[in-house]
A and B are shown apart, each in its own frame.
Chain A
Amino acid sequence: MELQKRSLIILCLGWLASLALASFVAGYYYMEFQNLNELLEKYESVIMRVKICIDYKELNETVVWYNDTIVPLGCNLLQATETVALVNSTRFPAQQASFVYAINGVWNHGAYFWMWQRWNGVQEMWEYGNVGADRYRLTNNEIVRWRYEIPNYT
């Protein structure tokens, strides 16, 4: 009987300890969340939010969206893409632009290239970008897309 009582007390103490630990960890992440939110509010005037889509549909039927990606104000498309993906690119000084060879390990291959487009909210259609990604400055709430495709623009 006493054995059971002792065991019960010890199990309760262990359970209390685990509860306290869980509370501390939850509190830790709540505090981190609050701190990051404060930081975000502090920098609100120098950041913007964009939506970036990486479309691998031609390769494996996958489309990945990075909504509300926070980037510095005046950031170009290449820099914004590099915040959400691993990009292999080379800058060509003669063209004053960079050429993207691969995104997240998917390389240009044969007739397939990584092409970028931006969403035209007025005409409600995707438009091909007409400059290199590092020459295109994003604006707040802009929607852009990288597509692995055989380019079909004219």
Chain B
Amino acid sequence: MRVKNIALLAIMTSLCVGIQLTPRPPNIEFTSLICFLTGFLFGSFFGVSVGTLTMLINGFLSPWGFGATNIPFQILGMALIGFVGGVYRKSCTRAGNPSVRWFSLEVSFLAAFLTLIYDIITTVSYVMLFDVNIIVALISGAWFIVVHVVSNTVLFGTALFGLVRIVSNVLGEQPWSYKKEVL
């Protein structure tokens, strides 16, 4: 990997951690977006790395308190998002890149699903700690999950494509050619 890419990766990780540690409304976050983006641009391994590192640091420094037993589950969930970013990119390369609108639609749907999976994974840690039924735990936090899923769906759908283009320009390459919209 080129030095420029490594530097960009470091910047993304610090950006991710910075935003993650900034006081914000509960369950509205940009970490998933950046992890997915990293996975998409640099491959699954880097997506997983950024997700793992971010959630590890976040677990100790989060303004919401020490993550404790939640940390491994947060890492697993975020790493999965980064991993899927890479897999999605591969699928795009293999099957032909979708148009911008179709790409935005696909990633927003994917974001909804991945965020839900992330929330289910992190709920499992709560279930293990407090010995409650997982369905009851999921239902109790229904509105938190809704806020998380909806915010991520909107974020991915509106921001991911723009971010891919910006990072590609910064790298000075065209890692992903996209079909222009025919209006």
- What is the interface of chain A, defined by CB distance below 8 A to chain B? 2-3, 5-7, 10-11, 13-18, 20-21, 24-25, 27-28, 31
Contact = CB atoms under 8 A, between A and B. Distances in A.
A25 B116 CA distance: 13
B91 to A, nearest CB: 5
Interface of A is mostly: helix
Nearest to B148: A21
A3 B95 contact: yes
Nearest to B98: A3
Nearest to B136: A31
B166 to A, nearest CB: 24
Interface residues of B, number: 24
A6 to B, nearest CB: 5
Interface of B: 91, 94-96, 98, 102, 106, 108-110, 112-113, 115-116, 135-136, 138-140, 142-143, 145-146, 149
A21 B145 contact: yes
Contacts of B96: 2-3
Given A21-B149, A27-B139, A7 B108 contact: no
Given A13-B112, A24-B138, 14 more contacts: A3-B96, A3-B98, A5-B95, A6-B91, A7-B102, A10-B106, A10-B113, A14-B112, A14-B113, A15-B109, A21-B116, A27-B135, A27-B139, A31-B140
A14 B110 CA distance: 6
